């Protein structure tokens, strides 16, 4: 399967402009024979929303924006980020997988950074689950930005049998290294390398670019194969549509060589975590 990383700069708070940007980018990816196009975190709205959150929130099963995006997914699978409203007045930073004209899976960001330049928990509720789901490529799982930096979340998707782990992100860039690369980019790539190797799954990471409220978003989207080898990387801080071929036989080859998935014992992890939680003292 050919995967496209849509490293875009969304328009803050402007659903109409962002819908047009998504539809145009989906069409570009389709014309380049991609089977899946992945957009960044909160790609439909921009990131630094704060009090705008209720104004741009969508119920994906009902909103006309999602009808248009679902229609576009009849020709190519789509992953994107949006503000989800569940019930009345409960908002999530969510990712959705669209395929065949319908919603396949929604993941709600569980780890909300709040402190320093981040204020997510002031405006969003926290998700509670990490689940895999079936796609034409195999089992997949979604994460949103800070979820990826919790290695326990990566383990949950691996234990769920993920062949494809998709991470959408709005990560600012901080610090510069030789070659005009953000120092923080190494952190994300290190996690991508580790999770892809030990889960023997493809890791697809799409980060945004552009500026909002004094934040410069880093870009540098990437894909790692199931042996922990980086197979593509987008440029730092520039809009781009980067494609790579993901070959399912690479998963089988990695799992024949490394038996991490075969030898995993999630029941041991569960028992130990239950004890840790019960013994925890505030």
- For the chain, the 3-state helix, strand and coil shares in percent, each to the nearest 5, are 35, 30, 35
Give me the pLDDT at residue 76, please. 98
Give me the pLDDT at residue 91, please. 98
Give me the pLDDT at residue 88, please. 85
Q: How confident is the model over 127-133, as a mean pLDDT?
A: 98
Q: How confident is the model over 152-178, as a mean pLDDT?
A: 92
Q: How confident is the model over 36-47, as a mean pLDDT?
A: 98
Would the pLDDT of 251 be above 60? Answer: yes
Would the pLDDT of 179 be above 70? Answer: no
Instruction: Please report which residue ranges of 179-265 form alpha helices under DSSP H.
Output: 185-199, 249-257, 260-263
Instruction: Tell me the percentage of the chain whose pLDDT exceeds 70.
Output: 98
Domains and CATH numbers, the chain: 2-279 (3.60.110.10)
Q: What does the pLDDT look like over 192-233, one tens digit per residue?
A: 999 999 999 999 999 999 999 889 999 999 999 999 999 999
Would the pLDDT of 258 be above 60? Answer: yes
When pLDDT is cut at 50, 70 and 90, the band that residue 177 belongs to is low
When pLDDT is cut at 50, 70 and 90, the band that residue 280 belongs to is confident
Query: pTM here?
Result: 0.97
Would the pLDDT of 278 be above 90? Answer: yes
Would the pLDDT of 164 be above 90? Answer: yes
Give me the pLDDT at residue 87, please. 84
**Among 204, 249, 181, 207, which Cα is nearest to 77's?**
204
Give me the pLDDT at residue 176, please. 65
Q: What six digits make up the tokens of 250? A: 């690479």
């Amino acid at each position: 399967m050919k995967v496209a990383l849509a490293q875009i700069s969304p328009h803050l708070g402007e659903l109409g402009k962002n819908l047009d940007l998504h539809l145009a980018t989906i069409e570009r990816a389709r014309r380049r024979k991609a089977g899946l196009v992945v957009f960044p975190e909160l790609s439909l709205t921009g990131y630094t929303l704060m009090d705008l959150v209720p104004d741009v929130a969508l119920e994906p099963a009902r909103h006309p924006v999602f009808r248009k995006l679902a229609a576009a997914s009849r020709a190519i699978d789509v992953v994107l980020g949006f503000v989800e409203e569940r019930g009345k007045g409960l908002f999530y930073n969510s990712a959705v997988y669209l395929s065949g004209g319908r919603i396949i899976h929604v993941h709600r960001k569980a780890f909300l950074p709040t402190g320093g330049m981040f204020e997510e928990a002031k405006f969003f509720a926290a998700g509670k689950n990490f689940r895999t789901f079936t796609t034409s490529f195999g089992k997949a799982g979604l994460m949103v930005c800070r979820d990826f930096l919790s290695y326990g979340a990566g383990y949950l998707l691996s234990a769920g049998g993920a062949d494809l782990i998709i991470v959408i992100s709005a990560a600012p860039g901080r610090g510069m290294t030789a070659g005009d690369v953000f120092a923080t980019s190494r952190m994300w790539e290190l996690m991508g390398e580790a999770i892809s190797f030990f889960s023997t799954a493809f890791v697809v990471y799409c980060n945004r670019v552009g500026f909002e409220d004094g934040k410069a978003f880093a870009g540098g989207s990437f894909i790692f194969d199931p042996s922990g080898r980086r197979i593509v990387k987008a440029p730092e801080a520039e809009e781009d549509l980067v494609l790579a071929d993901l070959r399912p036989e690479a998963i089988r080859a990695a799992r024949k060589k490394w038996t991490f998935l075969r030898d995993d014992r999630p029941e041991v992890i569960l028992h130990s975590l239950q004890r840790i939680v019960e013994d925890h003292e505030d």
